[in-house]
């Protein structure tokens, strides 16, 4: 990728190394942090507080409240799919030189909830199936399908088409993809753990606030890395420029 990333234009986007992807994600985060945190915060803060409140209530009332907790978990799953679609769309659009707002990003996330949820479930089932066989096949499958959501959001591919696109893009670059996702996961996990550990001795409300803030900060970075990895894999296989990315985003919005 070139330094024109995020500015639009016809300059080709070139492959990046692992460190370059992680550093570029930090640079883009710093550049667009207001939009990213706003998109994440709208959902993450109230949802995390609700989850912790539900967990506290379940512990206080025993098994009678388990069904309510399961419903809350299902609701959280649906909302996080909207959030994933919204942030992925915003990040890809920013890289293409567009500047979508919070409302526009969430509108896309909501209207694409069904396809995003379907792909997430299919990827999850495929990964779990691999884990049931052996741990290593599960990890292998999970990485091969890691950019399925990006293929759906950016290119408009649905269901198994998005999964097939991810499988094809990661093919031949599995270790590169695995290492990128692993390091990004370790970084975000470390930040989450550090923030939550600061309030581990406090009450559930303080822990909920800390968890919400940690997730709100780290989630956009994880999505940034995912989008950059997806673009990196595309650039390794086919000509790619901000103009091509813009055309893909426009076609997928129909």
What is the pLDDT at residue 74? 56
Q: Is the sign of the CA dihedral 23, 195, 102, 186 positive or negative?
A: positive
Q: How far is CA 88 from CA 92, 151, 193, 222, in A?
A: 6, 10, 24, 10
Question: Would the pTM count as exceeding 0.85?
Answer: no
What is the pLDDT at residue 2? 37
Residues in the chain with pLDDT < 50?
A: 1-10, 64
What is the pLDDT at residue 26? 92
What is the pLDDT at residue 171? 93
* 165's tokens: 């696109």
What is the pLDDT at residue 32? 80
CA 216-217-218 angle, to 5 degrees, is 100
Rounded distance, CA 24 to CA 19, Å?
8
Rounded distance, CA 44 to CA 83, Å?
9
Cβ within 8 Å of residue 241, ≥6 positions away? 9, 10, 11, 12, 13
Cβ within 8 Å of residue 68, ≥6 positions away? 54, 57, 58
């Amino acid at each position: 990728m070139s330094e024109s990333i995020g500015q639009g234009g016809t300059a080709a986007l070139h492959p990046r190394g692992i460190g370059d992807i992680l550093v570029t994600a930090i640079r883009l985060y710093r550049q667009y942090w207001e939009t990213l945190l706003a998109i994440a915060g709208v959902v993450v803060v109230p949802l995390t507080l609700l989850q912790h409140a539900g967990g506290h209530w379940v512990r206080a009332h025993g098994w009678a409240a388990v069904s309510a907790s399961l419903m809350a978990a299902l609701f959280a799953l649906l909302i996080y799919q909207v959030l994933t679609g919204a942030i992925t769309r915003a990040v890809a659009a920013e890289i293409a030189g567009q500047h979508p707002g919070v409302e526009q990003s969430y509108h896309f996330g909501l209207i694409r909830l069904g396809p995003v949820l379907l792909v997430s479930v299919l990827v999850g089932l495929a990964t779990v199936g691999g884990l049931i066989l052996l741990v290593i096949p599960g990890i292998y499958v999970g990485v091969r399908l890691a950019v399925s959501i990006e293929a759906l959001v950016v290119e408009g591919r649905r269901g198994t088409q998005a999964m097939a696109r991810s499988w094809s893009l990661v093919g031949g670059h599995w270790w590169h993809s695995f290492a990128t996702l692993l390091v990004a996961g370790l970084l975000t996990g470390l930040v989450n753990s550090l923030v939550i550990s600061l309030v581990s001795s406090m009450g559930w409300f303080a822990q909920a606030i800390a968890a919400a803030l940690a997730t709100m900060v780290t989630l956009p970075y994880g999505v940034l890395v995912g989008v950059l990895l997806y673009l990196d894999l595309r650039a390794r296989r086919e000509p790619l420029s901000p103009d091509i990315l813009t055309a893909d985003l426009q076609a997928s919005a129909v």
